[in-house]
Amino acid sequence: MLEFFKFIVEHADKLAEQTLTHIGLTFLSLCIALVIGIPLGILITLRPRIVGVVLGSVGVLQTIPSIALLGFMIPLQGIGPGPAIVALFLYALLPIVQNTYVGIREVSPALKEAARGMGLTRWQVLVRLEFPLALPVIFAGIRTATVINVGVATLAAYLAAGGLGEFIFGGIALNDTNMILAGTIPSALLAILLDAGLARLQHLRGLGRYRVMAVFFLLVPVLSSFYLVPRAGRPKLSAGFAHEFYGRADGYPALLRTYNLQLASRLIDQNLMYEAVRTNLVDIISGYSTDGRIKAFNLRTLTDDKHAFPPYEAALVVRQAALKQHPELQPTLDLLAGRLSDSSMTELNYQVDHLHKSPAAVARQFLTRAGLLRKPDGQKRQGKIVIGAMIFTEQYILAEIVRQLVENRTALEVITRTGLGGTKICFDALMAGDLDLYPEYTGTGLLVILQPPLAVSDTLQVSTKAVYQYVSREFNRKYQLSWQKPLGFNNTYALMMREGQAGQLGIRTNSELKLYLDQ
């Protein structure tokens, strides 16, 4: 409980911003739903033939699970506030159209006839009689729509539109209960307050009622503009961070600590993050430094000149027993030392992710270009080794490179076990002798496997070399595992910007970014 309040206090600014955005999203979509839904509801009272079609199709929209509707929005409209508002609007439509229709239909026919008998035109009957009398029912619909929207708006965070869902998604990604609650409790409170307030409006009697309802209609656009409030005072550049990056000690907190880099940030699903920066939704993201999309979307990776992020140098981890058993393995693996750089690894990832080439083909091309392959000598296979790989593109490619090189240079038969869940699984398999080697990252070896005291990891982190030496030594000693020489690239967190914008602003490093923001 205490931790929860601590979290709230620490993130008060962010929470206030998310709440405003949340209210804005809710009412902006409600506003559109009112502008379209009420006339539509009125229209179908005049055209009884289309009632079934209209209420039917609006009703079907309501049956689509909200997360699925948002999923459909991405291919149709991309990400950002636009698609999120469209989705919310579609949800708000049914209660408003339906209640407008029912409210008007339920006005007593005798009253309508009296009005017509006195010489009111169809339009006058609608404006002076039917609509005012239907208002309480319409208001019940607005109330339902508002409460639905407050709930569904938490999903807008998935489309990078902000709102209280950012903490909910972030909390789920990080398994952080306090973070989940920090998003859930305010959004539940918001729903309860709006529900109670609108219920009071709906049940108002007498003179004041119509005036108060008119005030509400005027208030909706005002509340909608809350969406713009957090944006109005924002700094020159806005950031979109993956939930994991925002919450992990070596992510955003490290950035804050090292550079004092205060960014107006939004939490985004890490797969949509690159898309968000590409489409100008945000200007800075927290990417992974070798992701293929850096090349595909023409992004610039900012240099971490003060070493806020721990190094994640890639190297092969091999069982010492396997090296002893197959002495020809060591010189072969040595050939790969320093062969890859951040940009060349990015290029390989790009070829697989975006040009849809197979990892095997990409690996072969790489080895050929590097001149590492010899003419096959057709000797008979003797002995075998097993290579593991985790479940992402880079690992598949690295495993292929090792397999092809070893099979070319030695008589060993190579078996690959790809798609393994994560470091822990690979490491355990290696210890058990089910694997002989797999590609690993120094930062992960340090933080996930060795888990030294914070003081130790903090001092090491400054130097790429120190981390490598530390894990190399400790793995040797503790687990009889040998870290091969680094492959040459560092797949760590990095801030990224669109190349065009970064070039224009002359930003190459995190320090330069800080300098620019402080200007």
Residues that bind another protein (CB under 8 A): 108, 110-111, 113-121, 124, 128-129, 132-133, 206, 210
Q: Pick the closer one to another protein by CB: 117 or 506.
A: 117
Structure tokens at 351: 């070829």
Contacts of 194 (CB under 8 A, 6+ apart): 26, 143, 146, 147, 150
Give the type of residue at 123.
Answer: W
Q: Pick the closer one to another protein by CB: 78 or 132.
A: 132
- Please give the angle made by the CA atoms of 246, 252 and 258, to the nearest 5 degrees: 170
Q: Pick the closer one to another protein by CB: 4 or 216.
A: 216
CB of 199 to another protein, least distance (A): 20
CB of 108 to another protein, least distance (A): 7
CB of 119 to another protein, least distance (A): 4
Q: Pick the closer one to another protein by CB: 61 or 102.
A: 102
- Dump strand ranges (E) for 32-141: none
CB of 208 to another protein, least distance (A): 12
Q: Pick the closer one to another protein by CB: 125 or 389.
A: 125
Cβ atoms of 464 and 311 closer than 8 Å: yes
CB of 207 to another protein, least distance (A): 8
CB of 103 to another protein, least distance (A): 13
Sheet strands side by side (includes 314-319): 413-420, 384-390, 437-441, 314-319, 481-483
d(C-alpha 315, C-alpha 437), whole Å: 10
Nearest Cα residue to 238 out of 278, 274, 270, 283: 283
Helices (H), 109-176: 109-117, 122-124, 131-152, 165-174
Nearest Cα residue to 322 out of 475, 425, 434: 434
Q: Pick the closer one to another protein by CB: 132 or 488.
A: 132
Q: Pick the closer one to another protein by CB: 116 or 306.
A: 116
Helices (H) and strands (E) in the chain, counts: 27, 10
The answer to whether the Cα torsion of 381, 386, 391, 392 is positive or negative is: negative
CB of 114 to another protein, least distance (A): 4
User: Of how many residues is the chain composed?
Assistant: 519
Q: Pick the closer one to another protein by CB: 128 or 203.
A: 128
CB of 140 to another protein, least distance (A): 17
d(C-alpha 103, C-alpha 137), whole Å: 5
